[in-house]
Amino acid sequence: MKKILMNVLTFLLIVSILIVLLVSLGDENGVKYIYKGNTEHKVIPFQSKEYRCSDCSMDVEDLHYAAELITQEGDTYFFDDIGCVVLWLQKHAKAKKNAKIFTQTLDTHQWIDAKDAWFSRIAPSPMGYGFAAYAKKEEKFVNYLQMQQMMLQGKNLYDPFVKKSLLGK
């Protein structure tokens, strides 16, 4: 009786281990940070909190400010703030080569190429840098390169002087 019980228990444990492994392996494409195999280099639709930002590790919760970076190999990284994309690229220069960056826009609510977008400097973006993408240009908006430069120089709402000059407080 004891032997049968031990055998049943062993069998159940092996099955449980296999289930955990299979569930994990089946899940591998979307583990928290990266979507792999996006060889068509298209935007990957995703739900709020489904992925974490590859730079700051926070949940990508507010999809209005979300961005995606797709490497040449088809690895798709998710970001909660366009500022995070700039900071991440600074640390991962190799990924920059032929990478595509898409961002959500606050006016048309669509994914567009970040290099075609215009950026407000005073938006309440998730990380508080202030940059948010728009499809249409408005006064005081900056283009991608300018936004990138400002982020790298720290000229965003984190800087009290910039904040005062832009928001008056």
Between the alpha carbon of residue 143 and those of residues 3, 65, 105, 146, the distances in Å are: 72, 16, 13, 5
Is 113 a binder of other proteins (CB under 8 A)?
no
CB-neighbour burial class of residue 13 (10 A; exposed 0-12, middle 13-18, buried 19+): exposed
By beta-carbon proximity to other proteins, the closer residue of 2 and 169 is 2
Is 28 a binder of other proteins (CB under 8 A)?
yes
Is 132 a binder of other proteins (CB under 8 A)?
no
Among 38, 54, 103, 120, binds other proteins (CB under 8 A): 54
**Contact present, 60 and 80 (Cβ < 8 Å):** yes
Is 52 a binder of other proteins (CB under 8 A)?
yes
Is 8 a binder of other proteins (CB under 8 A)?
no
Is 48 a binder of other proteins (CB under 8 A)?
no
By beta-carbon proximity to other proteins, the closer residue of 71 and 125 is 71
Residue with tokens 């430069």: 149
Is 46 a binder of other proteins (CB under 8 A)?
no
Write the secondary structure of 105-157 as one string of H (helix), E (strand) and C (coil).
Answer: CCCCCCEEEHHHCEEECCCCCCCCCCCEEECCCCCCCEEHHHHHHHHHHCCCC
Among 46, 61, 68, 95, binds other proteins (CB under 8 A): 95
Write the secondary structure of 32-86 as one string of H (helix), E (strand) and C (coil).
Answer: CCEECCCCCCCCCCCCCCCCECCCCCCECCCHHHCEEEECCCCCEEEECCHHHHH
Q: Which of residues 58-87 bind other proteins (CB under 8 A)?
A: 77
Among 14, 49, 110, 124, binds other proteins (CB under 8 A): 14
Number of residues that bind other proteins (CB under 8 A): 29
Q: Which two tokens stand for residue 96?
A: 């920059």
The residues that touch other proteins, with contacts defined as CB under 8 A, are 3, 6, 9-10, 13-14, 16-17, 20-21, 23-28, 31-34, 52-55, 57, 77, 88, 92, 95
